Amino acid sequence: FAPWDDPNEKPLIQFRNVTKRFGDFTAIDNLSQDIYAREFFALLGPSGCGKTTMMRMLAGFETPTEGQILIAGQDMAGVPPNKRPVNMMFQSYALFPHLSVWENIAFGLKREGMEKDKVDARVTEMLRLTRLERFAKRKPHQISGGQRQRVALARSLAKAPKLLLLDEPLGALDAKLRQDTQFELVDIQEKTGTTFVIVTHDQEEAMTVASRVAVMDEGRIVQVATPAVIYEQPNSVYVADFIGDVNIIEGAANPSADGYDITWAEGQPILHVKTEKTFAPGQKCFLAIRPEKVGISAEEPTDAANKVQGQIIDIAYLGNLSTYHVKLADGTMMKAQIANTRRLSRRSLTWEDNVWLSWTDTAPVLLES
Ligand code: ATP
């Protein structure tokens, strides 16, 4: 059982019908969501959708206009930030420039009045956890950006909070370091068992680190699921489009033996999709098809459930993969993504070639909106 599927598991965090308004602007709109202990929970969405507002309400820097937030069963109304079992790590890391790495990590513990021996032991443990032992004596300006990020993490975890909030924690790092650090974050989260809630607008980052991803749109969570489910079974065009690359075809659904026949653009063949979802005859629908599920060939495929013809107008070479941009006769643009190792064994396809695109009847997700 994953904790969110286990009826006996009590949530660590509960948002209950939470609304947050700034003046007459609604930033969070009647949102309810449970988050469980030891989860790595990602809030993902475009700029302005309300991610940071959710975090600030959890930390106690903002108060909900309506509704309740519970942590470990306790209503947080009126509980100030420093009395919550929560720590927040900011994008800027906010390290003290004049203090050493060791002193930065020890700062909060000393201020709490922890005994010197215990502070020493705890800081040593945090330095080991974040692999910073060698840098203990250096000042923040004498270490790299990635190391500073780890100091901020060590400092946030030193007081052993139940919950750590991370607002775009890797935003300042370059792409390669960012990827390495994502795996470190997951490793540290697993070792400490702390619940992490991370805010990011980077879908790959959310997919890499999170146990569950909540996709947000204008103050609401529109889907929350494991990264695989979010990717394979998005519940709307918005989610399909926000997570990775996708082809969207709009059409009308007509019931068939094991799914639907989809009529769409003028002159294009009827498409077939297998699904257990229910649509009314003729109902407007959308097919979401990932580019890697679309095959491309010069010859007409013999046994494909779906095939359409078009012309290659662009090829994006991505090293291990290539994405072919294909224009169909009615003007529809579609993308097919092929592994380059596989492609090398065939005649290479090139710009302006006339090609067939094909996909199975289980490749598309059929969506209402
Ligand atoms: P980003 O990825 O850009 O940080 P976000 O999803 O974290 O965006 P929030 O910072 O939560 O978005 O803001 C949500 C909405 O609420 C935005 O439209 C923002 O302008 C508005 N907002 C946030 N704080 C305030 C405030 N103190 N007063 C008025 N409006 C606010």
Residue minimizing CA distance to atom 27 of ligand 1: 22
pLDDT of residue 304: 95
Choose one of 18, 19, 21, 25 to mutate for the ligand 1 pocket test, by most ligand atoms within 8 angstroms of C-beta.
25
Cβ of 49 below 6 Å from ligand 1: yes
Q: Output DSSP code: residue 147.
A: H
Cβ of 51 below 6 Å from ligand 1: yes
Please give the class, per CATH, of domain 3-241: alpha beta
Single-letter code of the amino acid located at 156: S
| CB under 8 A, 24+ apart: contacts of 338-347 | 338/292, 338/295, 338/296, 346/297, 347/298
CA–CA distance, 130 with 152 (Å, rounded to integer): 10
> Is there a contact between 27 and 21 (Cβ–Cβ < 8 Å)?
yes
pLDDT of residue 22: 97
Q: Which sequence spans correspond to the domains of the chain?
A: 3-241, 245-367
CA–CA distance, 162 with 71 (Å, rounded to integer): 9
> Is there a contact between 272 and 306 (Cβ–Cβ < 8 Å)?
yes
Give residue 43 CA to ligand 1 midpoint distance, Å: 14
- Write the DSSP assignment of 158-207 as a string of letters: HT--SEEEEESTTTTS-HHHHHHHHHHHHHHHHHH--EEEEEES-HHHHH
Model ipTM value: 0.95
Cβ of 52 below 6 Å from ligand 1: yes
- Indicate left, alpha or beta for 150 from its phi (over 0: left) and psi (-120 to 50: alpha): alpha
The phi, psi pair for 118, rounded to 5°, reads: -70, -40
Cβ of 22 below 6 Å from ligand 1: yes
All residues at 6 or more sequence positions from 130 whose CB lies less than 8 Å from its CB, including other chains: 150, 151, 153, 154, 184, 188
Per run of 10 residues, the mean pLDDT along the chain (length 369 residues) is: 86 97 97 96 95 95 98 96 91 86 95 94 94 95 91 92 91 83 91 94 92 97 97 97 95 95 95 96 97 95 95 92 95 94 66 96 97
Residue minimizing CA distance to atom 1 of ligand 1: 47
**Model pTM?**
0.91
pLDDT of residue 133: 94
pLDDT of residue 6: 87
Single-letter code of the amino acid located at 335: K
245-367 to CATH, choices 3.40.1280.10, 3.30.499.10, 2.40.50.100, 2.30.30.240 = 2.40.50.100
CA–CA distance, 325 with 31 (Å, rounded to integer): 39
Residue minimizing CA distance to atom 17 of ligand 1: 48
pLDDT of residue 152: 93
